[in-house]
Amino acid sequence: MTFDFNAEVTRRGTGSIKWDFLEAFFGKDDLQPMWVADMDFKAPPEILSPILKRAAHGVFGYTAKTDQFYSAVVNWFSRRYHWSIEKEWIVTTPGVVPAINLAIQEFTESGDGVIIQSPVYFPFKDSIELNGRKLLDNRLILKNNRYEINWADLEKKAEDAEMLLFCSPHNPVSRVWTVNELKKLEAVCQKHNLVLFSDEIHADIVFKPSVHTPSAAFSRKLADRTISAFATSKTFNLAGLQLSINIIPSEQIRKRFKLSLERLHMNMSNVFGIVGTQAAYEHGDNWLDQLLPYLQENCITVRDYLETNIPEIRVIEPEGTFLLWLDCRKLGFTDEELAAFFVQKAGLALTNGILFGPGGSGFMRMNIGCPRHAVIAGLEKLKRAMTDNTPVVIDSGPANAPDDC
């Protein structure tokens, strides 16, 4: 079956954060939304059909995950990552961010150090600080339009840490970490006895020639200290179904993690999350195999357009995710002016780079998970904004973003 990713889907009026809450977050409703990290594509019929069938049944009692659900997950990881996982390793949570908070609460104590690698997905920072832990920032290095890990600094930070929150592929800088980088990461974690929480929610969205290697699939030593979080939410646009897959090979870590879930009575899942996830992992390959080149072409479209028409803005070359990291520093704006420029002059809702922490100043995150004509329309708005000489008005500061989008 051939899928049409150019089809327009109206999302206004559905309670969509991305479309229906623009005024709440940006002060205006007449903006083109390219911010919240979900896509504007319909989920494939292979997923919609089982969900609709289950809805038509009409009885939505307490629902558990069957052997078929677990087999679907195991087989997906075998097909897509050549990683043999066991059913017992799989622990579900209502999202990756709840899993991060749960892991921090269970495997660290008040005041313990937890490492992040900024600029990074902002709930990492929030999860550490809201749980009373010490934030240790191993800031990434931008070199030749590509981000790298500062290994010397990571070694130093690890001396005072109990846990590392790892983003793989990395949001927002679009890095897909290599096997050599995972080897170095393993050495640091082993030496300093760190628990590794590896957020791999974007693992399926990787562009050739990059290849995603799950952190825990790299070696058994690393697997024995790793919680790896996956989900169908980014891959198949199912974020609203609120179910993530946590792979925990270590029996000791898994028992503690599951006990924390049981204390909170969070070990059950939404019926449609179960049905949708199982269907995605059983039947989603064809759709995903067509989606990836479409998204990669969207990335190329943005890069080429900016190089030709707006050379002041540069795309950090993406290796994965449907989120582009735009280097806008040559525009010479403060972060407040940059946010206001995109909203007031370009009529675009993007995510301000400063939300991702140190290293995000002067950057904007653009979501290209939408029909190509919408990407081009957004670029044309940006081009027109560059010729607008009216001053931007700084009001209440830069646009904020929802807690975990």
Proportion of the chain in helix, strand, coil states, percent, rounded to 5: 45, 15, 40
- The answer, yes or no, to whether residue 168 has pLDDT greater than 50, is yes
Give residue 155's pLDDT band: very low, low, confident or very high (50, 70, 90).
very high
Residue 403: the pLDDT is 65
320 backbone dihedrals φ, ψ, rounded to 5°: -170, 175
User: pLDDT tens for residues 142-152?
Assistant: 999 999 999 99
User: pLDDT tens for residues 246-273?
Assistant: 999 999 999 999 999 999 999 899 999 9
Q: Return the percentage of the chain with pLDDT > 90, whole number.
A: 94
Same domain, 95 and 237: yes
Interval 40-68 mean pLDDT: 97
Instruction: Give the DSSP H/E element, type plus range, for residue 377.
Output: helix 372-385
Nearest CA among 43, 6, 10 for reference residue 370:
6
| Structural domain containing residue 335 | 17-43+286-385
Same domain, 84 and 227: yes
93 domain residue, yes or no: yes
Q: How many domains does the chain have?
A: 2
Same domain, 166 and 269: yes
Same domain, 130 and 112: yes
Residue 394: the pLDDT is 83
Same domain, 110 and 38: no
Domain boundary among 228, 252, 283: 283
- The answer, yes or no, to whether residue 391 has pLDDT greater than 50, is yes
Same domain, 259 and 315: no
50 domain residue, yes or no: no
Q: Which residues contact 333 (CB under 8 A, 6 or more apart)?
A: 341, 362
Same domain, 205 and 250: yes
103 backbone dihedrals φ, ψ, rounded to 5°: -65, -40
Cα separation, 307 vs 193, whole angstroms: 45
Q: Return the percentage of the chain with pLDDT > 70, whole number.
A: 98
Interval 109-131 mean pLDDT: 98
Same domain, 67 and 142: yes
54 domain residue, yes or no: no
- The answer, yes or no, to whether residue 397 has pLDDT greater than 50, is no
- The answer, yes or no, to whether residue 302 has pLDDT greater than 80, is yes
136 token code pair: 């240790």
Please tell me the pTM assigned to this model.
Answer: 0.96
User: pLDDT tens for residues 14-35?
Assistant: 999 999 999 999 999 999 999 9
Interval 302-311 mean pLDDT: 98
161 token code pair: 């840490």
Domain boundary among 259, 283, 307: 283
